[in-house]
């Protein structure tokens, strides 16, 4: 199947348009390119069949308030180096931000990473013919386990060389292997874990120590001294007088450590506000979009190895893909959550376990509020807004917990082996995580209403349990 990528270059002057177009044409994308030039005034009309937009902001002074809302996958090109503009571009949907002058060496990798994560590309490579050819290539190569290798040039910091040997154009090999794993052709084993920026999902992040009082980076480590006789505690420098230690409070000389004084711990002193603290605060700065947050606000991504299953071997032996794609029936690849059918099945199973083994579980529903405002003010961002919240609501749950999109604005959560009080604690943690999504505030400050119902032997059917949870949600 031939892949045709439609590219719209918006806002570029003629010379810049030609330079970008020539760079695109000269690259080998293993696909046809359809390249068009458009004015900024037609930005919102550039949708539909457009796979990638390269938006060139007007040269000269430009502020964050001049960044438009992007509908398509967009590479944002600007002459402005303001940090606020950088963060704003990613918040409004930019996939990459490039600064003028735009060099081919940075433009083409960004474009490739957009192209090869597109649905049309993925679907073409997940056809039965393509999957069978790939599995046969893996078997013929003698590789039974496809292992990740670290690389600073890949979106998640890792890639799979065994995959690239078989399919040189495949840039989204991680997503491809995940899709085949969900179809039963591979089993996964955890090999590494990386932290990604929650705004742009880059792994290029910097951890740094800052003052817990004023957030200054200018902090220094020092040694504390505790004078036993008068109880005074201060920095070593405060006690030092030439070669001696003298207490600045009682002015007595300290001669013997362990008798006159002790050194209880290190301290960190801020050169900006002079505050002394036992530990600094660790914060994270994304080196791609500039977003600053706490380490717990990042997105965790697991890196797996993939081992061929007997189902894959049988497909190669028989020359055909057999069986039913259970993942397609039970999993929504768009939201990354289980579908409603599977969720209801799990509810039924939990009710049976409760009655038979007296185990406990809790059903929680989380409803996103004020969707109508988002629809009115940012209609082109409402799907991204909801999916971002759904992802945040479910990312810190345990592996055995089950989530699904119950309706367009409600997430269903089954918390296994969890009573009502435990579920309330979990909901509070989730609610706190939602409040920290400040990059959504420019669209709509997230507000989520929860209902929590513990399942027990009195509930005959999943529908009865869901009805109670929906009633609580309505009355909340």
Domain of 24, CATH number, reads 3.40.50.2300
Question: How many CB atoms neighbour CB 268 within 10 A?
Answer: 19
CB 286 within 8 A of CB 205: yes
Predicted pLDDT of residue 306? 92
Whether residues 424 and 453 share a domain: the answer is: yes
As a whole number of angstroms, the distance between CA 216 and CA 209 comes to 9
Q: Is the pTM of this model over 0.75?
A: no
Q: Does the residue 205 lie in any domain? A: no
Single residue among 115, 133, 152 that ends a domain in this structure: 115
Domain contains 40: yes
**Contact of 76 with 96, CB cutoff 8 Å:** yes
Instruction: Examine the domain organization and report whether 220 and 168 are in the same domain.
Output: no
Q: Which of 395, 473, 380 is nearest to 430 (CA)?
A: 395
**What are the distances in angstroms from CA 291 to CA 93, 97, 152, 285, 295?**
14, 13, 20, 6, 12
The low-confidence residues of the chain, meaning pLDDT below 70, are 1-3, 27-31, 42-48, 60-65, 71-72, 116-125, 168-172, 322-336, 341, 476
Indicate whether 333 and 267 sit together in one domain: no
Residue whose tokens read 């695109």: 24
CATH of the domain at 345: 3.30.70.270
Q: What CATH number did the domain enclosing 128 receive? A: 1.10.10
Long-range residue pairs from 310-317, CB within 8 A, at least 24 positions apart, any chain: 311/184, 311/185, 312/135, 312/138, 312/139, 312/180, 312/184, 312/185, 312/186, 313/139, 315/131, 315/132, 315/135, 315/185, 316/132, 316/135, 316/136, 316/139
* pLDDT at residue 120, as a whole number: 58
pLDDT of the residue at 363: 94
- Picking from 182, 70, 168, 203, the residue whose alpha carbon sits closest to that of residue 126 is 182
User: Residue 189 domain-assigned?
Assistant: yes
pLDDT of residue 209: 92
178/315 same-domain check: yes
Are residues 342 and 273 located together in one domain of the fold? no
54 phi, psi to nearest 5 deg: -105, 105
Q: Residue 76 sits in which domain range?
A: 4-115
As for how many domains the chain has, the answer is: 4
Does 286 map to a domain? no
pLDDT at res. 61: 61
DSSP codes, 250-268: T-PEE--BTTTEE---EEE
């Amino acid at each position: 199947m031939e892949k045709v990528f439609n590219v719209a270059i918006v806002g570029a002057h003629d010379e810049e348009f030609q330079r970008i177009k020539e760079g695109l044409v000269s690259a080998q994308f293993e696909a046809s390119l359809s390249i068009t030039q458009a004015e900024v005034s037609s930005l919102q009309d550039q949708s539909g069949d457009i796979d990638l937009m390269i938006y060139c902001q007007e040269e000269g002074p430009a502020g964050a308030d001049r960044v438009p809302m992007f509908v398509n996958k967009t590479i944002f090109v600007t002459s402005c180096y303001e940090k606020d503009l950088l963060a704003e571009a990613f918040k409004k949907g930019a996939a990459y931000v490039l600064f003028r002058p735009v060099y081919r060496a940075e433009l083409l990798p960004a474009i490739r990473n957009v192209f090869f994560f597109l649905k049309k590309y993925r679907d073409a490579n997940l056809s039965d013919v393509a999957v069978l050819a790939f599995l046969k290539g893996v078997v013929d190569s003698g590789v039974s386990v496809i292992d990740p290798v670290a690389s600073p040039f890949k979106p998640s910091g890792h890639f799979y060389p065994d995959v690239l040997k078989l399919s040189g154009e495949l840039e989204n090999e991680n997503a491809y292997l995940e899709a085949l794993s969900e179809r039963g052709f591979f089993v996964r084993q955890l090999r590494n874990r990386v932290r990604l920026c929650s705004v742009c999902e880059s792994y290029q992040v910097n951890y740094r120590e800052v003052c817990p009082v004023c957030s200054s980076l200018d902090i220094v480590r020092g040694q504390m001294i505790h004078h036993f006789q008068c109880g005074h505690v201060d920095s070593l420098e405060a006690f030092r007088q030439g070669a001696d230690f003298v207490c600045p409070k009682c002015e007595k000389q300290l001669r013997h450590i362990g008798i006159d004084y002790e050194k209880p711990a290190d301290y960190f002193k801020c050169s900006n506000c002079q505050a002394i603290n036992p530990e600094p605060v660790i914060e994270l700065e994304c080196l791609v979009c500039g977003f600053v947050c706490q380490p717990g606000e990042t997105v965790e991504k697991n890196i797996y190895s993939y081992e061929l299953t007997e189902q894959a071997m049988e497909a190669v032996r028989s020359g055909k893909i057999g069986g039913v794609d259970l993942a397609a029936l039970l999993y929504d690849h768009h939201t990354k959550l289980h579908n409603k059918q599977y969720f209801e099945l799990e509810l039924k199973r939990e009710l049976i376990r409760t009655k038979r083994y007296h185990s406990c579980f809790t059903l929680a529903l989380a409803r996103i509020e004020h969707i109508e405002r988002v629809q009115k003010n940012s209609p082109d961002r409402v799907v991204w807004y909801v999916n971002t919240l759904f992802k945040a609501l479910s990312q810190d749950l345990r592996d055995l917990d089950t989530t699904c999109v119950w309706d367009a604005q409600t997430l269903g959560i089954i918390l296994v082996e969890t009573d009502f009080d435990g579920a309330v604690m979990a909901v509070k943690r989730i609610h706190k995580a939602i409040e920290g999504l400040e990059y959504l505030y420019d669209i709509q400050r997230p507000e989520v209403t929860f209902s929590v119902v513990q399942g027990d032997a009195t509930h005959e059917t999943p529908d009865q349990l869901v009805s109670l949870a929906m009633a609580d949600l309505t009355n909340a």
